[in-house]
Amino acid sequence: MSKGGRRHAEGRGSAEPLKLERLDEYRWMLPRTGAMRVPGMIYSDEKLLQTVRMDQSPRQVANVAHLPGILKYSLAMPDMHWGYGFPIGGVAATDIETGVISPGGVGYDINCGCRLMRTDLELGDLEGKLEDLASNLFSNIPCGVGGTGTIKLSRREELRVMVEGAGWAVKNGYGEEEDLERTEERGAMSGADPSAVSERAILRGKAQLGTLGSGNHFLEIDLVDEIYDETAAMAFGLVRGAVAVMIHSGSRGFGYQVCDDHLRTMGKAVSKYGLNLPDRQLASAPVSSPEGEAYFAAMACAANYAWANRQCLMHWTRETIERTLRVSPAKLNLRLVYDVCHNIAKKETHVVDGEKRRVCVHRKGATRAFPANHPELPDCYRQVGQPVLIPGDMGTCSYVLVGGGKAMEETWGSTCHGAGRLRSRSQSRRMTDSSKLLKELRSKGIVIRARGKSTLAEEAPDAYKDVDRVVNVVHEVGISRKVAKLRPLCVIKG
């Protein structure tokens, strides 16, 4: 069994059977039992729920409901599946004064997220050039497990990246100032403190800035295939038939090490603060405690590293497209639509029982989805709402959504983050013929570049849930609304 598998098998909480109560077509409640402080709420349709019942993620929803200071519900999005402590797709808010912060509610790949760029290119501009473009992107965008990039940070510069995030990249020539306006938190969370980061994490981050990584991380050339909301699409700069680019990556080994370091500290904090938790993977500390503040400060450093990482990747992608297609910057007109993070804990203001309160929102495999007129949105999207990016997998479509009003009422301004896995990576490797899969994808007109056959097998389309169904759930509930569908043309994988 893998290291991750051992972790998952160690603690699953109470063996008491769970009973789901259907509230409507897309909402399912886990009533409070035992020491649960709040009920659980799962967003799903009936077919997706059948896959949810196959793993321990509903039990994890119940376990999260035991966290001190948790408010309203322990939530799970329709792409939910088994994770470390929290389910992937889990959302929970805790009171800043009385609640805890849990690294399991963020995950190992801190600020794994998506960045979408629009262009003025059309499909005809890629005719006869897609294979070359794929090869050049694969050569110019460092990827793979442990991959290193061309940026070699000094210690001083790496500390600046931790604090300045995407702003550091822009200052150093990797992008434009307007990119920051279209990045969540303007690409840099406040509260980042490099003194909370270990030497081991700093060492791991020195050579990985500007690298894609492996697993489900990717760079895609997409075609805007469908438009559902013309007003929002126009605000986002998306036109049917135009080429778009999506990057999915995170904080690399730096973020992993930050999580690992602070999980050990949190494990000791559970006893120190007398926390009674059903699963040791939910190791936590009070938000305002020294341990809680240190984790938040280090997590913010990793989040900022990830935003800088995606900013650099976007810059090299733009340069590669211009050179390969021999188009001018004006002809390409590649501009950032938005950059959202999927794994994060944020201190935000929300309405609780009719009063505004500061809460710590854990989004683990979930996306922020603020609606129109939210004060934290940039001026360019204030009237329509925040762009929400939902990647599918390399053989199916991705979606662009916009934050819906129900998100603020029900889910702490959150929605789903992707299709969600059906099978583990090891299961998918055993069940998938990579050569056959590659032929199938090519028959659909999708050009693939990957480091190895194992990556292709792990990321096979049938290893994931139906992204159309997942998106339909959040659209129908109203926590986010469909704006556009993107069809993959070219996929770069680690």
- With a CB cutoff of 8 Å and minimum separation 6, the contacts of 251 are 109, 110, 111, 112, 258, 302, 303, 305, 306, 309
Task: Please provide residue 439's backbone torsions phi and psi, each rounded to the nearest 5 degrees.
Answer: -65, -40
Q: Provide the token pair at 138.
A: 């694969």
Site of tokens 């126009």: 234
Does the annotation count 66 as an active-site position?
no
Q: Provide the token pair at 149.
A: 């990039």
Q: Which of 81, 262, 417, 475 is catalytic?
A: 417
**Is-contact 77 416, C-beta < 8 A?**
yes
Angle at 113 between CA 60 and CA 284, to 5 degrees: 40
Q: How many helices (H) and strands (E) does the chain have?
A: 17, 19
Angle at 308 between CA 215 and CA 146, to 5 degrees: 35
CA distance 74 to 72: 7
User: Counting Cβ atoms within 10 Å, is residue 18 exposed (0-12), middle (13-18) or buried (19+)?
Assistant: middle
Could you list the active site residues?
Answer: 417
